[in-house]
C-alpha cells in the first residue's frame, strides 16, 4: 500500500498554518470595488500594538515561517514599521518571521522605500489591476495606478530588489497579462496573478468583473505557458479540469494549511470568507491563536473528508476538487456543488436559479459610506 499523497495528508491539517494572512487594519485610503474585506474605515476594536506583538510571539512559537500582511492598507497603521520589525527581528533574538505585505503603494515614498530596502526577510506586493490607468482605476479608484507606479519607482531606486506586482484577474485585464508581465520584468519584479473572488465588496462587483468562460481558458493557457515564472497563490486550481494541472497545490487550504487573522483578531478559515459561518474564534480567546487553529470546531470539521456532492459523478473532480469554497458560498451555491466558474459550465444554470435573497452577505462592512460608488 502506498503512502497517502501529500495533498491528502495536508487535507487533514497541520499543527500550524503554512500560509497565514493577517489583515492589520480595515482602514484604507482606497475603496476598490472588489475588496475582499470591504475595507475603508478603521475598526475601533482593532488589535493594539501590544496584542499584535503577542500574536507574533505565538506565531514564532508555532514556527510559522512567514506571514502575509494585508488590510485594508497596512501602512496606514502608525505601528506598521514597529510590527514588521518585531516580526523579522525579534528583540530577544531567535528566528524571525518573514513578512510579505500587500499594499496599494500610496505611502511608499523615497525615504520609506529606503527603510524597506534595508530590512531582511521582507517582501512587498504592490497591487495593480490593470496595465494602464484606465483599466486599473476603474477597479481601484482614480489615481491608484499612478500611486502604485510611483511606489514601484521608489522601490527600484532604493534597490529593494525583486518586489512583487499583484494582479487580480478580471474580465477587463485578461488581455493585459503579457503587458503586466512585461511591466514586472521591466522592474526586475515578479508578477503574481490571483483569482477574483465574490467576497467582501466583490460580492457586488463579481458578476460584472469575473472572467467569462472563454477567458478562463485563456487564463489557463497563459498560466501553462508562464506558470513557472509567475506566482498565483495556487488560486486557479479550479482550471485544472481543463487538462494538465497547473503548478502548485491543487486543493482548498482553508483551515487546513491557510487561515486569516482579521484586524480585530478574529480567525477565519481563509482570507476570502469573512463571514460568521467561517469564523473559528479569536486570538483574544483563552488559548489564543494556537487553540483556535488546533481545536476549533470549524477547523476540525474542514479537516474531515469533504463530500464531492453533486460533483462526485463528474470525471474532473479529482482535477479541480470542486473549486473554491468562498466562491461558492458568496454566490449562493452549495459548498458540495460546482464552483461558480466551473469550466465545464455546470454552475451556469445553478447561478441563475439562486434567489438573490438567499445569497449570503459578508458579515462585516467597513466601507466608507461617504464615498459614492455610483460615479462609476
Partner 1 sequence: MSLLDTALELDPQVALRPEPFGALAYHYGTRRLVFMKHHDVVEVARHLAEHPSLSAALQACGIAESRWPSFAKAFDTLSRSEIVRERPVAG
Residue for cell digits 482602514? 27
Find the shortest distance in angstroms from Cβ 123 to partner 1: 7
- Counted residue by residue, the chain has a size of 376
**Residue with Cβ nearer partner 1 (122 or 223):** 122
Contacts (Cβ under 8 Å, ≥6 apart) of 355: 332
Find the shortest distance in angstroms from Cβ 198 to partner 1: 29
Q: Residues 252, 324: contact at Cβ < 8 Å?
A: yes
Applying CB under 8 A, does 16 fall inside the site for partner 1?
yes
Q: Please name the helix (run of DSSP H) or strand (run of DSSP E) that holds residue 282, with its range, or none.
A: strand 279-282
**Which region, judged by CB under 8 A, interacts with partner 1, from 95-103, 105-113, 176-184, 355-363?**
95-103
Extract the C-alpha cell encoding 94. Answer: 531567535
Applying CB under 8 A, does 340 fall inside the site for partner 1?
no
Residue for cell digits 469575473? 210
Applying CB under 8 A, does 234 fall inside the site for partner 1?
no
Extract the C-alpha cell encoding 43. Answer: 475598526
Closest CA to 105 of 159, 146, 71, 133: 146
From 40, 72, 96, 233, residue interacting with partner 1 (rule: CB under 8 A): 96
Tell me phi and psi for residue 374, to 5 degrees. Answer: -75, -10
Closest CA to 218 of 279, 163, 177: 177
**Residue with Cβ nearer partner 1 (250 or 363):** 250
From 21, 23, 24, 66, residue interacting with partner 1 (rule: CB under 8 A): 66
From 23, 73, 123, 341, residue interacting with partner 1 (rule: CB under 8 A): 123
Q: Residues 282, 265: contact at Cβ < 8 Å?
A: yes
**Residue with Cβ nearer partner 1 (257 or 325):** 257
Could you give the CA distance from residue 102 to residue 125 in angstroms, rounded to a whole number? Answer: 5
Applying CB under 8 A, does 10 fall inside the site for partner 1?
yes
**Residue with Cβ nearer partner 1 (66 or 220):** 66
Q: Read out DSSP for 68-116?
A: EEESS-GGGSTTHHHHHHHHHS-TT-SPPPEEEEEE-STT--HHHHHHH
**Residue with Cβ nearer partner 1 (121 or 187):** 121
Applying CB under 8 A, does 344 fall inside the site for partner 1?
no
Applying CB under 8 A, does 98 fall inside the site for partner 1?
yes
Applying CB under 8 A, does 118 fall inside the site for partner 1?
no
Could you give the CA distance from residue 302 to residue 300 in angstroms, rounded to a whole number? Answer: 6
Helices first, then strands: H and E counts in the chain? 14, 9
Find the shortest distance in angstroms from Cβ 375 to partner 1: 40
From 42, 65, 137, 344, residue interacting with partner 1 (rule: CB under 8 A): 65
Find the shortest distance in angstroms from Cβ 297 to partner 1: 21
Find the shortest distance in angstroms from Cβ 95 to partner 1: 6
Find the shortest distance in angstroms from Cβ 229 to partner 1: 14
List interacting residues with partner 1 (CB under 8 A): 3, 6, 9-10, 12, 14-16, 18, 63, 65-66, 95-96, 98, 121, 123
Amino acid at each position: 500500500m502506498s503512502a497517502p499523497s501529500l495533498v491528502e495528508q495536508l487535507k487533514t491539517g497541520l499543527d500550524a498554518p503554512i500560509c497565514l494572512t493577517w489583515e492589520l487594519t480595515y482602514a484604507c485610503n482606497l475603496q476598490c470595488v472588489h475588496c475582499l474585506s470591504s475595507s475603508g474605515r478603521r475598526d475601533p476594536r482593532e488589535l493594539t500594538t501590544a496584542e499584535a506583538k503577542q500574536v507574533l510571539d505565538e506565531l514564532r512559537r508555532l514556527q510559522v515561517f512567514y506571514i502575509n500582511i494585508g488590510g485594508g492598507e497596512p501602512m496606514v497603521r502608525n505601528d506598521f514599521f514597529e510590527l514588521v520589525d518585531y516580526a523579522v527581528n525579534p528583540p530577544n533574538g531567535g528566528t524571525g518571521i518573514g513578512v510579505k505585505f500587500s499594499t496599494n503603494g500610496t505611502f511608499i515614498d523615497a525615504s520609506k522605500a529606503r527603510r524597506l530596502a534595508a530590512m531582511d526577510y521582507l517582501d512587498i506586493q504592490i497591487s495593480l489591476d490593470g496595465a494602464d490607468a484606465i483599466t486599473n482605476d476603474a477597479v481601484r479608484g482614480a489615481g491608484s495606478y499612478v500611486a502604485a507606479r510611483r511606489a514601484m519607482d521608489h522601490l527600484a531606486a532604493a534597490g529593494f530588489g525583486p518586489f512583487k506586482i499583484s494582479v487580480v484577474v478580471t474580465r477587463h485585464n485578461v488581455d493585459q497579462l503579457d503587458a503586466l508581465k512585461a511591466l514586472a520584468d521591466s522592474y526586475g519584479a515578479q508578477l503574481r496573478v490571483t483569482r477574483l473572488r465574490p467576497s467582501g465588496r466583490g460580492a457586488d462587483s463579481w458578476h460584472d468583473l469575473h472572467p467569462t468562460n472563454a477567458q478562463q481558458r485563456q487564463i489557463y493557457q497563459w498560466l501553462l505557458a508562464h506558470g513557472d515564472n509567475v506566482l498565483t497563490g495556487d488560486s486557479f486550481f479550479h482550471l485544472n479540469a481543463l487538462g494538465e494541472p497547473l503548478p502548485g497545490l491543487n486543493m482548498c487550504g482553508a483551515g487546513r494549511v491557510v487561515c486569516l487573522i482579521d484586524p480585530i483578531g478574529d480567525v477565519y478559515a481563509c482570507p476570502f470568507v469573512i463571514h460568521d459561518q467561517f469564523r473559528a474564534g479569536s486570538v483574544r480567546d483563552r488559548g489564543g491563536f494556537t487553540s483556535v487553529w488546533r481545536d476549533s470546531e470549524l477547523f476540525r470539521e474542514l479537516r474531515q473528508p469533504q463530500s464531492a456532492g453533486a460533483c462526485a459523478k463528474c470525471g474532473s473532480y479529482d482535477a479541480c476538487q470542486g473549486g473554491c469554497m468562498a466562491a461558492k458560498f458568496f454566490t449562493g451555491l452549495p459548498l458540495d456543488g460546482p464552483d461558480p466558474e466551473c469550466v465545464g459550465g455546470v454552475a451556469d444554470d445553478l447561478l441563475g436559479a439562486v434567489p438573490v435573497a438567499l445569497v449570503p452577505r459578508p458579515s462585516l462592512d467597513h466601507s466608507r459610506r461617504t464615498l459614492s460608488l455610483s460615479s462609476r
